[in-house]
A and B are shown apart, each in its own frame.
Chain A
C-alpha cells in the first residue's frame, strides 16, 4: 500500500515570497491533516479535512496560510507571504474514518521549508 506522498521535499525561499506544498493521502482515507513541526517541537495541527470539508482550522494563521482539498483527495497548503518563523517541516497525514477517534494516523515524510 502506498503511503502519504508529499512534495516538494525541500524548499528554500526568501521572506515575503510564497510557497505551496502538495499532498496525496493514502487511497480511501477520508481525513487529511496538515501539521507544522518546528525544530525541537512536536507536530502542531494546522488544519483537518474530512473529505473536502474543513473540520478544524483553528490553529491555521489565516492571514498568510491557506489550504484546500479539492475532490476530497489531494490537498495543497500555501503560505503567502512567508515569514522567517514559518521555517519548519510541514507534515501531511491521513486516516481512514473521520468520525472515530483512535484511528491510526499515517504521516508523510514532510516538506522542509527554510525561509531566509
Chain B
C-alpha cells in the first residue's frame, strides 16, 4: 500500500542553523510533491511545489529537493528563525487533478 513517511519526532534546532526535513514514500509515483506549513489551530499553508522532472526548487530561504530514484524529498530552511517553528507537511500528487496524499508532518522547533 502507499506510504508517506515523515520524521514523527520533533526536530529541534538553534536559530541560524539549517533545518532539514525528510519525506520518504513507497509504492507511489508522484508527478508532483508539495510542502505545506501548518501552525497550531490553523489550516495548512502552501510553501513549495516540485515536479517529478525537477531536482531542486528554491524560494527565499526554502529549498526542496526531489529524488524519484530514492523516493525521497528533502526540505531545507536556511538561517532558521523562531518564527519558522511549525509543523511541515509533505503531500504527493499523482497528477491529473490535485489529489493530494499528505504525510503525518514533522514538527520543527527553532530555539534562540
Residues of A whose CB lies within 8 Å of any CB of B are 4, 31, 40-45, 48, 55-56, 91, 93, 95, 98-110
Q: Among B31, B49, B99, find the residue whose CB has the most chain A CB atoms closer than 10 A.
A: B99
Residue of A42, A44, A56 contacting most chain B CB atoms (<10 Å): A42
CB B79 to nearest CB in A, in angstroms, measures 25
Interface pairs A-B: 5 shortest CB-CB: A42-B102, A107-B43, A101-B95, A104-B46, A43-B102
Contact B31 A42 (CB under 8 A): no
* Bound: A93/B5 CA distance, A: 23
A43 to B4, CA, bound (A): 12
B105 touches A42 (CB 8 A): yes
Q: Are B104 and A102 in contact (CB under 8 A)?
A: no
Contact, CB under 8 Å: A102 / B32: yes
Residue of B nearest to A106 (CB): B46
* Inter-chain contact B93/A102, CB cutoff 8 Å: yes
B98 touches A31 (CB 8 A): yes
The answer for the CA separation of A42 and B7 in the assembled complex, in Å, is 12
Is B108 located at the chain interface by the 8 A CB criterion? no
Q: A100 to B4, alpha carbons, bound, how many Å?
A: 23
In the complex the two chains form, is B102's CB within 8 Å of A101's CB?
no
6 examples of A-B residue contacts, CB within 8 angstroms: A31-B98, A98-B97, A102-B32, A105-B46, A106-B46, A109-B43
Chain A contacts for B103, CB-based, 8 A: 42
Pick the most buried of A55, A56, A99, A102: most chain B CB atoms within 10 A of its CB. A102
In the bound complex, CA of A62 to CA of B71 (Å): 33
Q: Would A91 and B102 count as touching, CB distance under 8 A?
A: no
B77 at the interface (CB under 8 A from A): no
Q: Output the least CB separation between A86 and chain B (Å).
A: 19
- Cα distance A56–B31 in the bound complex, in angstroms: 18
